[in-house]
């Protein structure tokens, strides 16, 4: 009698091992949850049995099993959409389609829709093809053939050099079985039910695998005495002795074959249990693979084609072929379902990624700021790009979080703001222009609110109270209902009624009549272009407005409070609430009038619902960058969005069993202008809102800029550069370091280490650089490092990256804010002026005092402060270079951004929409004969 090769005990061992492995990993990593999706269409009794069996095995192994049962008449498109959703869900590790399918569905189309990386059944074209191709490994091996190989191994069946016959050519068993036996060095013959005289092959076979699907097809007389017989068949034949009326038999005549074979598998009790066990093993291994991929973050660096001299920024950018943005997303662990493509090189990241990665500890957080800006340009964006490129060269996951440039400066003076040389963001044309339309959405929302203000005043002035209420809450089919947005105003008024007809006449008047005081309107219209002639305009000139004219003006779009709201929102709901809270004016009785009072808060959120998703782009070396929001730094907070930072920090973060210092990646973001403006607002406003705390500050300085701060002659666009900026002058550099020292001092006041990045120019000398380093270290910097990323890309910033890593991983952090929120408004302004600017104090104009008093009365005293002042000096006077002292900061006006959540005083003469110079950058911008954009910097 043949030895019985049973699989029940071995299958139990495999399932126990899977259970133990899953449990052990979950002790270290609670987020580890291998998940199998079973797709079933209809409710065939035999399919139900198989599904129950797989669900039971999942329970036994600690695998999460989700049974998705679709109606018998489901259409193919709907089913394919569901499978695509499972493919794109990072929490799903295995998908099986329970066969057979109803006749209206194409089985080949449906099963091939399953991603090869999740095809735990192992019979899609990609996995079968890789199994058959020499030198390739599939993601999965079909469960039954894999189980057979494990049985043969367990029973010490020798395979090398043996003759094997496989009967059956299905993709599920026969074909993969023959390949696996061949890989084990068997000589394999593949037969099937149509093969003539199968016995001539089986009689010489050492191993026979029967998978033809015909009861007792293989006869005992076909077998070579002592051979090994593997019966894969599952066939039901009539049997009156059984309660069910049938019994299960295999493809082999077992009762007779057992007397000839040396070893044989019984049916049931051998291959079946192993098939289910291998399915569980495949799901477990898939979960391990996805876990490893999620932690690897293998960002492939794009090679640079360096040129000397370095070409123009746009030429350098065009010398590189960017990665497809979906590839970059995959490299950093963003799933296909979390990325919305906007062409091949940019996409929006869905906020759902924060839920998936919420368990991770944040990565290292770094902010880049600079010394007081000069016409030379200090290169913060270039340093940001170069630094993330360098960190990637050091095998650190690094993500840049930067603002989207406004088209105002792009067409005005700067000509672009994507970095430069071999440290920039690409495609730089898209980065500098429309990108994904976020700024246009801001503009549309801002101007809708502006229109709502004038419209409401017009209609209130032309209608009686009752008529106004009836038009705001019209009866439809005899029933009046408040719009959802109207409940914000009702709540504010203390009216708890939900039926409009229940309001008293007095309540209806209070609800309907905002009674806006035109002199208190602070909301301007916007556009994303520098246009000085729109700073003050008159609206209402048309006869249809019946003489209701008023003076107003335009701001540049990135100065809109809508942009600040975008940058500071934590999620879509938070953005909706903030937009509704924006104060646009006061009533004649002093009540703050908000966007929700006007009924427009929800509409603003609708216009900005896509803008809230950060944009994924890349540097010139193919490292990731999240580009999002762009509030002006001298008017607003000057930082990219909290959401972009949070997403990046989770992507770069660590799992529970990883070292949060050594294994974490780096998020490098940028604060607009210098430490006195952008960095101060970054910490006191953005970090206060987000709860995120950076580990270090990178302070950018250049030799040329420090010479200007040391008393060097002024420079102007289009004029020859004075000789002092092109030759060595160490003393002038040292004098200018007074400005550098003040910015180091400012950063250190927040309790963080400071690394000075000396952005290299060709004309810099070793002595000048040494002087900067000496002065920086004496002022308290952790290090001061020359960086040549502009000419060399990431490799030129390696020393800077190493200094930053050392600061983040080894130096003490003791972060704290500059002021407490419960201090009076004027005291908070004074603290900023003294601590950050070096002023003796502040002076409030009568207008500023009047506005401040109104804000206090309206309940806005506890907001942080966002001072709008010149970026060209630590003081309010752009002509005062270096580190001026002995000055008083004049506060001429004060405005409220209640939705964004800050008060912004205006120091001296600050324009909320820039003007164009005599020769704007648009003179250089055009299309060439090949329709390529030229002239961007």
pLDDT in tens, 838-878: 999 999 999 999 999 999 999 999 999 999 999 999 999 99
247 vs 254: CA distance, rounded Å: 14
Residue 573: CB atoms within 10 Å: 10
Residue 460: CB atoms within 10 Å: 15
Percent of the chain with pLDDT over 90: 88
Q: What does the pLDDT look like over 379-396, one tens digit per residue?
A: 999 999 999 999 999 999
Are the CB atoms for 406 and 556 separated by under 8 Å? yes
297 vs 935: CA distance, rounded Å: 36
**Sheet order of strands, 35-41 included:** 64-70, 35-41, 94-97
* Backbone φ, ψ for residue 144 (5° rounding): -65, -50
Range with the poorest average pLDDT among 42-46, 66-70, 485-489: 42-46
User: Does the pLDDT at position 566 exceed 90?
Assistant: yes
374 vs 871: CA distance, rounded Å: 9
- Nearest Cα to 584, choosing from 701, 455, 727, 695? 455
Burial, 61: exposed, middle or buried (Cβ in 10 Å; 0-12, 13-18, 19+)?
A: buried
Beta-bridged to residue 636, according to DSSP, are: none
* Backbone φ, ψ for residue 697 (5° rounding): -115, 130
Band (777; pLDDT cuts 50, 70, 90): very high
Are the CB atoms for 811 and 661 separated by under 8 Å? no
Q: What does the pLDDT look like over 779-826, one tens digit per residue?
A: 999 999 999 999 999 999 999 999 999 999 999 889 999 999 999 999
Which one has a higher pLDDT value, 800 or 429?
800
What are the residue numbers of the active site? 54, 98, 121
Are the CB atoms for 240 and 199 separated by under 8 Å? no
Average predicted confidence (pLDDT) for the chain: 95
CA 871 to chain centre: 31
Residue found under tokens 């093809």: 129
445 vs 605: CA distance, rounded Å: 8
Band (336; pLDDT cuts 50, 70, 90): confident
Q: What does the pLDDT look like over 902-913, one tens digit per residue?
A: 999 999 777 778
Amino acid 898: pLDDT: 97
User: Beta strands of 213-262 (E only): which ranges?
Assistant: 228-231, 235-238, 246-249
Q: What is the mean pLDDT of residues 108-133?
A: 95
Q: What does the pLDDT look like over 515-540, one tens digit per residue?
A: 999 999 999 999 999 889 999 999 99
Which one has a higher pLDDT value, 653 or 932?
653
624 vs 561: CA distance, rounded Å: 28
Are the CB atoms for 110 and 98 separated by under 8 Å? no
Amino acid 415: pLDDT: 66
27 vs 586: CA distance, rounded Å: 58
CA 53 to chain centre: 40
402 vs 428: CA distance, rounded Å: 13
Helix (H) or strand (E) holding 82: helix 76-88
Amino acid 245: pLDDT: 86
Are the CB atoms for 869 and 677 separated by under 8 Å? yes
Q: What does the pLDDT look like over 684-721, one tens digit per residue?
A: 999 999 999 999 999 999 999 999 999 999 988 778 89
Are the CB atoms for 779 and 706 separated by under 8 Å? no
Q: What is the mean pLDDT of residues 583-598?
A: 97
Amino acid 745: pLDDT: 98
Domains of the chain in sequence order: 3-286 (3.40.50.720), 313-436+610-810 (3.40.50.300), 442-521+541-550+561-608 (1.10.8.770), 825-906 (3.10.410.10)
Per DSSP bridges, beta strands 583-586 and 696-701 are: unpaired
- Nearest Cα to 112, choosing from 102, 132, 97? 97
585 vs 855: CA distance, rounded Å: 11
Residue 768: CB atoms within 10 Å: 22
Amino acid 625: pLDDT: 98
Q: What does the pLDDT look like over 394-425, one tens digit per residue?
A: 999 999 999 998 887 778 776 678 899 999 99
Are the CB atoms for 759 and 702 separated by under 8 Å? yes
CA 568 to chain centre: 16
Amino acid 716: pLDDT: 81
Structure tokens at 897: 């951004």
Q: Distance from first CA to last CA of the chain, Å, rounded? A: 85
Per DSSP bridges, beta strands 475-476 and 339-341 are: unpaired
Band (242; pLDDT cuts 50, 70, 90): confident
User: Does the pLDDT at position 463 exceed 90?
Assistant: yes
Amino acid 824: pLDDT: 97
Range with the poorest average pLDDT among 270-274, 406-410, 645-649: 406-410
Are the CB atoms for 647 and 614 separated by under 8 Å? yes
Amino acid 922: pLDDT: 81
- Nearest Cα to 693, choosing from 526, 795, 815, 799? 815
- Nearest Cα to 630, choosing from 444, 367, 439? 439
User: Does the pLDDT at position 95 exceed 80?
Assistant: yes
758 vs 704: CA distance, rounded Å: 11
Rounded to two decimals, the pTM is: 0.91
Helix (H, G, I), strand (E, B) or coil at 226: coil
Percent of the chain with pLDDT over 70: 99
Amino acid 801: pLDDT: 98
Q: What is the mean pLDDT of residues 885-895?
A: 95
Range with the poorest average pLDDT among 38-42, 78-82, 220-224, 290-294: 290-294
* Backbone φ, ψ for residue 897 (5° rounding): -120, 80
Per DSSP, helices labelled H in 135-219 are 143-154, 174-183, 199-202
* Backbone φ, ψ for residue 169 (5° rounding): -125, 25
- Nearest Cα to 891, choosing from 852, 844, 855? 844
């Amino acid at each position: 009698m043949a030895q019985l090769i049973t699989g029940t005990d071995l299958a139990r061992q495999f399932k126990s091992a899977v259970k133990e492995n899953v449990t052990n990993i979950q002790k270290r990593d609670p987020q580890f949850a291998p998940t199998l999706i079973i797709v079933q269409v209809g409710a065939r009794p035999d399919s139900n049995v198989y599904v129950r069996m797989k669900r039971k095995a999942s329970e036994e192994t600690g695998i999460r099993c989700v049974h998705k049962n679709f109606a018998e008449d489901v259409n193919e498109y709907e089913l394919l959409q569901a499978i695509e959703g499972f493919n794109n869900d990072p929490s799903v590790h295995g998908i099986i389609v329970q066969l057979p399918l109803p006749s209206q569905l194409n089985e080949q189309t449906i099963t091939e829709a399953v991603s090869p990386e999740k095809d735990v059944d192992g019979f899609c074209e990609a996995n079968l093809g890789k199994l058959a191709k020499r030198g390739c490994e599939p993601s999965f091996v079909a469960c039954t053939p894999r189980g057979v190989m494990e049985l043969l191994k367990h029973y010490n069946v020798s395979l090398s050099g043996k003759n094997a016959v496989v009967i059956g050519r299905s993709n599920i068993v026969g074909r993969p079985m023959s390949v696996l036996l061949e890989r084990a060095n068997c000589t394999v013959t593949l037969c099937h039910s149509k093969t003539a005289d199968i016995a001539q092959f089986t009689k010489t076979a050492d191993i026979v695998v029967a998978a033809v699907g015909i009861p007792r097809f293989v006869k005992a007389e076909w077998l070579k005495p002592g051979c090994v017989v593997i019966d894969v068949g599952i066939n039901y034949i009539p049997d009156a002795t059984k309660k069910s009326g049938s019994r299960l038999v295999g493809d082999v005549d077992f009762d007779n074959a057992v007397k000839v074979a040396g070893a044989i598998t019984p049916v049931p009790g051998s291959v079946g249990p192993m098939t289910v066990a291998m399915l569980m093993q495949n799901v477990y291994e898939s979960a391990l693979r996805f876990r490893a991929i999620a932690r690897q973050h293998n960002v492939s660096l794009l090679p640079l084609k360096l040129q000397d001299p370095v070409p123009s920024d746009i030429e350098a950018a065009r010398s590189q072929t960017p990665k497809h943005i979906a590839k970059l997303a995959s490299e950093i662990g963003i799933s296909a379902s979390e990325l919305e493509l906007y062409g091949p090189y940019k996409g929006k990241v869905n906020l759902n990624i924060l839920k998936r990665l919420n368990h991770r500890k944040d990565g290292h957080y770094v902010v880049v700021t600079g010394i007081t800006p000069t016409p030379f340009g200090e290169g913060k964006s270039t340093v940001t790009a170069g630094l993330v490129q360098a960190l990637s060269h050091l095998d650190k996951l690094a993500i840049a979080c930067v603002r989207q440039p406004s088209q105002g400066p792009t067409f005005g003076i700067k000509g672009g703001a994507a970095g430069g040389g071999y440290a920039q963001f690409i495609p730089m044309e898209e980065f500098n222009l429309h990108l994904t339309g976020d700024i246009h959405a801001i503009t549309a929302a801002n101007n809708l609110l502006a229109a709502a203000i004038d419209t409401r005043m017009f209609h209130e002035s032309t209608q009686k109270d009752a008529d106004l209420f009836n038009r705001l809450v019209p009866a439809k089919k005899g029933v009046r209902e408040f719009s959802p947005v109207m409940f914000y105003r009702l709540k504010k008024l203390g009216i708890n009624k939900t039926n409009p007809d229940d309001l008293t006449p007095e309540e209806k008047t209070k609800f309907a009549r905002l009674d806006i005081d035109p002199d208190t309107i602070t909301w301007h219209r916007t556009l994303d272009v520098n246009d000085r002639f729109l700073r003050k305009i008159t609206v209402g000139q048309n006869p249809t407005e019946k003489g209701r004219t008023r003076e107003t003006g335009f701001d540049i779009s990135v100065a809109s409070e809508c942009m600040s709201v975008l940058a500071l929102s934590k999620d879509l709901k938070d953005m909706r609430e903030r937009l509704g809270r924006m104060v646009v004016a006061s009533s004649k009785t002093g009540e703050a009038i908000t966007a929700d009072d006007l009924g427009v808060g929800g509409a603003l959120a609708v216009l900005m619902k896509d803008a809230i998703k950060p944009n994924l782009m890349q540097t010139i070396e193919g490292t990731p960058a999240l580009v999002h929001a762009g509030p002006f730094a001298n008017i607003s907070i000057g930082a990219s969005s909290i959401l972009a930072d949070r997403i990046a920090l989770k992507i770069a973060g660590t799992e529970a069993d990883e070292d949060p210092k050594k294994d974490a990646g780096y998020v490098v973001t940028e604060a607009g202008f210098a430490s006195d403006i952008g960095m101060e607002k970054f910490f006191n406003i953005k970090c206060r809102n987000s709860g995120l705390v950076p580990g270090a500050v990178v302070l950018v300085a250049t030799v040329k800029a420090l010479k200007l701060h040391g008393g060097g002659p002024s420079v102007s666009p289009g004029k020859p550069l004075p000789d002092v900026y092109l030759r060595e002058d160490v003393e002038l550099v040292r004098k200018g370091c007074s400005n550098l020292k003040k910015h180091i001092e400012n950063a250190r006041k927040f309790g963080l280490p400071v690394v000075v990045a000396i952005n290299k120019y060709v004309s810099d000398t070793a002595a000048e650089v040494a002087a900067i380093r000496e002065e920086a270290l004496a002022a308290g910097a952790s290090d001061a490092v020359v960086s040549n990323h502009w000419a060399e890309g990431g490799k030129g910033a390696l020393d800077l990256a190493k200094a930053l890593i050392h600061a983040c991983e080894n130096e003490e952090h003791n972060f704290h804010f500059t002021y407490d929120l419960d201090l009076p408004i004027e005291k908070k302004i004074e603290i900023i002026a003294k601590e950050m600017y070096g002023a003796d104090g502040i002076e409030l104009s009568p207008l500023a005092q009047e506005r401040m008093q109104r804000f206090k009365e309206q309940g806005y005293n506890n907001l942080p402060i966002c001072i709008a002042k010149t970026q060209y000096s630590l003081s309010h006077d752009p002509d005062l270079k270096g580190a001026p002292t002995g000055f008083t900061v004049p506060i001429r006006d004060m405005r409220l951004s209640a939705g964004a959540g800050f008060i912004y005083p205006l120091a001296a003469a600050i324009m909320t929409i820039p003007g164009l110079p005599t020769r704007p950058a648009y003179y250089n911008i055009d299309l060439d004969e090949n329709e390529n954009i030229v002239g961007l910097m």
